[in-house]
A and B are shown apart, each in its own frame.
Chain A
């Protein structure tokens, strides 16, 4: 039993953070939203199932991974034979690489990319099909401050200008304060909504 008393709603255009100690169920919840983890009871209603971009917490990209960054991002394109669609796909790829600051790195093998470059590539792939919702599971962990901010600025901009709903799992106090508008706090298998201005540093310090 991971959750009890779970009752919340995420609305269009939200920028919401899921916070709470290790093992409190944040990843499990988003997996349930994605339909990748079964739930034993309760209702979960997901409106935009087809248009969620999801960047999972862990991913086995090893050093031998056989695609470069551009090819990797392309994996999320639907197969097509139409030359017209291909052309617009190429435009799409070009734009997304630019947006995520990967244009100069597009030929680098993903397996050899740095942690930050990899996260950008994951983000680019997830954003490719213009999702309505973006789920980031600790995408900023282990990044330096500058790259962290670059990534979050981009996401915030999409949230502002394109009404992208963002669900952001993090252990980062500053980022929660700076970027998110709502916070869901996981603790002892319960989940409570806290106002972002009431989010305190000790919420990130307690052990699981």
Chain B
């Protein structure tokens, strides 16, 4: 399949997507932000449609929307349960906006399905380069903040007690989350990018118990999912997102069963 240019591009792009999503996903899970990453994908959809409408790239539109909203969420310090209700209200507004922007723009509807459901053919080599740079930026931020972010993500009260700047960490993390949503959506689609951002991290938690191992397993599951998905999508011509989400969901339930089995033995 690598004799095709578009498959090579898709392969490189999804490799970087999977690494960032797997990495960020470990912390999405430990910071209880699965719900927020779901909402960010929906906001990203509105951003992509907005990008199309005003004539900037969908990726740029997504980044703008997800960055602004994630930082806005991060600076709200309200209680988390109240936050969830208001987040879901906001997310329905953004889906509506996304649909509105798309219907106002003159682009064909296949463009819209690509944004929503993902695609392996839509990506150009210029976009691959953009994705790579963004992914490397995310990885760089993680290397810098690795230790305090681990401290804060698994023991928030302790991190505050130790005098860490948890607000700054939270904003830094949300920026990487917004970027991961935006780059992941380019192949997986904004509707299901949160699958890559939550399931591998959640599965890893059932299997291993140290931060480096969590990251390795999560990135591994995420890579396996996108590689297998690309291959199967190429062979069958079915949507890549279907295979990726099917793989991650199966892996999740296998992980869960493994954990339960281990508890009983």
Contacts and interface: CB of A to CB of B under 8 A. Distances in A.
A58 B161 contact: no
Nearest to A51: B163
Contacts of B209: 64-66, 109, 111
A75 B157 contact: no
B248 to A, nearest CB: 20
A66 B162 contact: no
Interface in A51-73: 52, 54-56, 58-61, 64-68
Interface size class of A (residues with CB under 8 A): 20 to 34
A45 B151 CA distance: 28
A66 B154 CA distance: 8
A59 B154 contact: no
Contact of A56 (B150, B157, B210, B211): B157
B260 to A, nearest CB: 14
B147 A66 contact: no
Interface in A98-118: 109, 111
Interface string B144-162: 0001001100111110111
A178 B205 CA distance: 44
A67 B154 contact: yes
Contacts of A81: none
A65 B155 contact: yes
B interface, size bucket: 10 to 19
Contacts of A126: 161-162
A54 B163 CA distance: 9
A60 B162 contact: no
A34 B154 contact: no
A74 B163 CA distance: 15
Contacts of B154: 65-67
A77 B205 CA distance: 26
A59 B158 contact: yes
A76 interface: yes
Contacts of A65: 154-155, 209
B43 interface: no
Contact of B210 (A60, A67, A79): A67
Nearest to A76: B162
A75 B147 contact: yes
Contacts of B151: 75
Nearest to A135: B161
Interface string B193-226: 0000000000001000111011000000000000
B210 A59 contact: no
Contacts of A79: 147
Contacts of A54: 161-162
A170 interface: no
Given A75-B151, A75-B162, A125-B162, A66 B210 contact: yes
A60 B156 contact: yes
A55 B161 CA distance: 7
A1 interface: no
Contacts of A122: 158
Contacts of A50: 163
Contact of B155 (A34, A60, A68): A60
27 contacts: A34-B161, A36-B161, A52-B163, A54-B161, A54-B162, A55-B161, A56-B157, A56-B161, A59-B158, A60-B157, A61-B155, A65-B154, A66-B150, A66-B154, A66-B209, A66-B210, A66-B214, A67-B150, A67-B154, A68-B210, A75-B150, A75-B151, A76-B162, A109-B209, A122-B158, A126-B161, A126-B162
Q: Which 6 residue pairs spanning A and B have beta carbons closest together?
A: A54-B161, A75-B151, A56-B161, A59-B157, A66-B211, A66-B210
Given A56-B161, A75-B147, A79-B147, 7 more contacts: A54-B161, A66-B154, A66-B209, A66-B214, A75-B158, A76-B162, A126-B161
